[in-house]
Amino acid sequence: VSDFAGLRLALTALDAQRRGVEVSAQNVANANTEGYSRQRVDLESIGSPAVPAFWSRFEGHGGGVKVADVERFRDAFMEIRAALEHGSMASLSQNATSMQALERLFNEPTDLGVAKQLSDFWGAWDDVANHPEDAAARNQLLQRAETLARTINAISSQMTQLQADTTAELRGTVVEINALSSQIADLNRTIKANTIAGIPVNELLDKRDLLANRLAEVSGGTVRSFEYNQANVVLNGTALVSSNNSYSLEVDTSGPSVAIRWADTSAIASVTSGKAGGQLTAINTTIPAYRSRLDSVVTTLRDDLNPLHGGITGSIASAAQNQATSGNLQFQMALNGGSNATVTVAGADWSGAGGAAALQTALQNAINTAIGAGNATVAVAGGNGSEMTVSITPTGTNALTVQASGTNAGFGLFMSTTAVGADGVGGRAFFTGTDAASFALAAHMIGNPNAVAAGVANGGPLDSSRALDIAELAQTEDGSDALYRQLIVQLGVDTSTAVSRDQIQSKATKALDDARAQYSGVSLDEEMTNLVMYQHAYDAAARFLSAVDEMLDTLINRTAV
Amino acid sequence: MGLSDFRVPNQMLVRNSLSSLQTSFARLADLQDQAASGKKLRKPSDAPADIVPAMRLHSGLNRNDQYQRNIEDANGWLGAADNALSNTVDQLHRVRDLVVAARNASSDTAARQAFASEIDSLRDSIIGIANSQYAGRPIFGGTSSGAVAYDSTGNYVGFSAPIERTIAPGQRVQVNVNGEEVFGTTGADIFTTLAQVSAAIQSNPSGLDALAATLETQINTVEVSQGTVGSRFKRVDDMKSQNTADSLTMRTSLTGIEDIDLAEIMVSLNAQQVAYEAALTATAKAITPSLVDFLR
């Protein structure tokens, strides 16, 4: 054993303890660095030779200490779980945000909401029914109808805006995904090279893992470890990052629904989780679902109201079916806002068997003569001892209006149940539009209170029986009001579910983050304790060095002088 | 892992404190919002189960207010009709007395002249009553847009049709009575009879018997109409108190669903404020010290 072995041993101790202090210092310096994992020196004693030379004996002691490794505290399994949980939290939180934004659009339950305006609208019909002679009541009705239509239009356009905004956010998310993927691929390259060269990579790994977790969070992908400390990120089976290669995504808005595609193959990327997944769901599923519910509210309103207000119908009692002595029966009809043409039917006895068919032919021919063939279809049913019903349906997008021809009884006879305005004209639709965006008060109603049809053709000048019928639509069990209430309930249920799922997931994610922090996070108390520990060990090693020095001094200078 | 199970890294401590402070503050903000708005149901997701009843009650109340307006209007129509009909009946009873007196009276021309002219003036008065208006519309004129139901000679100029008001869900009541139903169809109406009675008193006393019988039937018709109007009037009146009671019930239920219990909210608000302040103090104490402070 060499006389100087003690010196070398002391040196290894000084080195090792200093490394310990340095690692503690690194930990303390990074106590608040996001994604940093604490490190610890793994000390290992240098023992006797493992395989002594043949026939030789080893009488020495250990050779000191060495730093085997600087270990990075990170639990790979926990990291994978955390990435998954963060991905699903991002998706749920996006979902909650979209639902809350939708909920705000509807403004319920307040006086600004559609429910209140529907209710006001129906009330206005009652006011018209109470005072059909009062132009103010009719004007108020038209104003409320316009307010209702505009409120629904506004909600629809805000939904479109929300969808467009979310699509813009999705583009941002995809840009972030692409940037993260290529950064991770670059880091993988460096990490692999350094690992092969034996250069410490702990800090690079921390940085890479931070980016990989963020990528998992935004894209919903899974992180998998790969050879030479590399990490791959996989999106439902397809690689987003594979070793030092990254594959970018792009947003495709050309189709009916928005899609995320792989930039190189144009194949659809299956993004179902993460922030991007949440945004896709909002754009393609959540918002369209509510839009179609709102659409069905307005089409129901339109389809319930328009036949009552603008349908051209009549009913002829048995007693009135013999018109053989009435001469010509006439009424006026106008096609698509054109001028009135007189429809003339020669009175006949339609009371017997085949009377309905005969009247149908006679009316159809007369109408064809007046406004041209193919513009309207007449249907007559019943008769022969029971009531006869007449209905005239304009063809396609045609609009027909009808009114009496002077004092001739034809209008009151054939079109007895047609609703007519204060100007005597019937057949005008009240609302137009096919969805919430195009829903509007019909053009011929705007600013024309006399067009509000409160009564029916044979009900007398101030009849308001039709207005009463319309006002009662408010109570229909499957009417627009009921549909709208169902929409709002669904909105409430969906929003509160989305919010509570988000909260639950964020608790679960937080618990996992705590577990990771417990394992990987820097505790200042612990580092201070380590610092004191290494410092004392350093002091002791230094003390040992001077003891060996004194021993050598004794041996060299005091012996045999 | 052993000891590391109990490690509490500083970042975790800070993050946890922050997150519990935020939760506590959010709860405080929510309570403050409730107290300020007076509502606990501010958006559908606050209580999805309550939103249907709330919306139903809102529209029900709105609709009920409308029914109340309809009822007021119906009351006006029926009240005017009731009033007019009872005046008519009074006058017709006077006519009946006059006819009886005329039948038994002497053949003195001057006396007959007096009976006849009183009947003429009663006829004019009944025509006036038959033209009674409510809100500018002749109550016996049906859906006519004219100002009168009968012209000055007693001819019907109205348009006989029912006028209805909705006074409760699915319940309509006819608020008018058509002149033709009360006073008889044109040509066979009470005014024609009265003119004939007046003429008969003066020139054909023997015809009075038949006319008296006709008149009796017609008076009876008016009385029946009065009864009909009376019972509708009663129905509308009952519905009015029912409507008021319904509105009150709905308002009470709505308050229970939508509005806060102020006392409860104030207590919760105070408790939450105390909790928040305690959390702040605890956080301030927990974050500050570490071993660094105690090492030299």
pLDDT digits (tens, 9 = 90+) for B145-204: 899 999 988 899 999 999 999 999 889 999 999 999 999 988 889 999 999 999 998 888
d(CA A476, CA B252): 25
Report the candidate in A264, A48, A122, A213 with the shortest Cα–Cα distance to residue B169. Answer: A122
> What average pLDDT does this structure show over A380-404?
93
Report the candidate in A429, A434, A433 with the shortest Cα–Cα distance to residue A444. Answer: A429
pLDDT in tens, A88-116: 999 999 999 999 999 999 988 888 899 99
Report the candidate in A320, A296, A252, A262 with the shortest Cα–Cα distance to residue A436. Answer: A296
Q: Do A488 and B55 touch (CB under 8 A)?
A: yes
Report the candidate in A277, A300, A213, A258 with the shortest Cα–Cα distance to residue A512. Answer: A213
Site from B4, B7, B17 to mutate, A interface, most A CB atoms within 10 angstroms? B7
> What average pLDDT does this structure show over B121-150?
93
Say yes or no to pLDDT of B4 above 50: no
Q: Do B7 and A119 touch (CB under 8 A)?
A: no
* CB of A380 closer than 8 Å to CB of A390: yes
Q: Do B69 and A99 touch (CB under 8 A)?
A: no
Angstroms from A374 CA to nearest CA on chain B = 37
Q: Which two tokens stand for residue A176?
A: 């972030």
Q: Do A462 and B9 touch (CB under 8 A)?
A: no
Backbone angles phi, psi at A70, to 5 degrees: -105, 105
Give residue B3's pLDDT band: very low, low, confident or very high (50, 70, 90): very low
* CB of B276 closer than 8 Å to CB of B25: yes
* CA distances for A487 relative to A103, A157, A533, B48, B171, angstroms: 11, 17, 67, 11, 29
Give residue B8's pLDDT band: very low, low, confident or very high (50, 70, 90): confident
Count of pairs with CB atoms under 8 A, one residue in A, one in B: 169
pLDDT in tens, A25-47: 999 999 888 889 999 999 998 87
* CB of A141 closer than 8 Å to CB of A428: no
DSSP code string of A366-420: HHHHHH-TTSEEEEEEE-TTS-EEEEEEE-TT--EEEEE-TT-THHHHHTTT-EE
Q: Do A131 and B135 touch (CB under 8 A)?
A: yes
Per CB-CB distance under 8 Å, the chain B contacts of A501 are: none
Angstroms from A519 CA to nearest CA on chain B = 7
Residue corresponding to tokens 């299956």: A270
Give residue B88's pLDDT band: very low, low, confident or very high (50, 70, 90): very high
Site from A74, A100, A108, A519 to mutate, B interface, most B CB atoms within 10 angstroms? A108
Give, for A249, the enclosing helix (H) or strand (E). strand A249-252
Say yes or no to pLDDT of B1 above 50: no
Q: Which two tokens stand for residue A162?
A: 């929300």
Angstroms from A77 CA to nearest CA on chain B = 15
Three-class DSSP category at A238: strand
| Beta bridge partner(s), residue A235 | A238
Angstroms from B4 CA to nearest CA on chain A = 7
d(CA B41, CA B238): 34
Angstroms from B267 CA to nearest CA on chain A = 25
> What average pLDDT does this structure show over A376-387?
93
d(CA B103, CA B97): 10
Q: Within A72-201, where are the H helices?
A: 76-106, 114-130, 135-197
β-pairing, A400-404 vs A328-335, is antiparallel
Per CB-CB distance under 8 Å, the chain A contacts of B45 are: 99-100, 103, 491-493, 495-496, 499
Chain A nearest-CA residue for B65:
A123
- Residues within 8 A of A (CB atoms), B 251-280 only: 258
Write down the pTM of the prediction. 0.85
> Given 3-state DSSP classes, what are the helix, strand and coil percentages for chain A, each rounded to the nearest 5?
55, 15, 30
* CB of A222 closer than 8 Å to CB of A234: yes
* CB of B143 closer than 8 Å to CB of A455: yes
The pLDDT, as a whole number, for residue B2 is 44
Please report how the helices B190-203 and B109-130 are oriented relative to each other, as an axis angle in degrees rounded to 10: 170
Three-class DSSP category at A355: helix
Q: Do A493 and B48 touch (CB under 8 A)?
A: yes
d(CA B67, CA A401): 33
Site from B4, B5, B10 to mutate, A interface, most A CB atoms within 10 angstroms? B10
- Residues within 8 A of A (CB atoms), B 92-111 only: none
> What average pLDDT does this structure show over A523-529?
90
Say yes or no to pLDDT of B33 above 70: yes
The pLDDT, as a whole number, for residue B194 is 93
Average pLDDT, chain B: 90
* CB of A449 closer than 8 Å to CB of A135: yes
Among A118, A474, A499, beta carbon nearest to B45: A499
Per CB-CB distance under 8 Å, the chain B contacts of A32 are: 10-11
Say yes or no to pLDDT of A187 above 60: yes
- Centre a 10 Å sphere on the Cβ of residue B38 and count the other Cβ atoms it contains: 12
Say yes or no to pLDDT of A1 above 60: no
d(CA B212, CA B205): 11
DSSP code string of B156-175: B-SB----EEEEETTEEEE-
Among B10, B58, B165, beta carbon nearest to A31: B10
B288 touches chain A (CB under 8 A): no
Per CB-CB distance under 8 Å, the chain A contacts of B287 are: none
Q: Could you say which DSSP state residue B153 is in?
A: T
DSSP code string of B43-55: SGGG-HHHHHHHH
Among A104, A123, A460, beta carbon nearest to B143: A460
B189 touches chain A (CB under 8 A): no
Average pLDDT, chain A: 92
Give residue B286's pLDDT band: very low, low, confident or very high (50, 70, 90): confident
d(CA A23, CA A10): 20
Radius of gyration for chain A, computed over Cα atoms and rounded to the nearest angstrom: 43
Peptide bond into B53 cis (omega under 30): no
* CB of B262 closer than 8 Å to CB of B34: no
Q: Do B7 and A529 touch (CB under 8 A)?
A: no
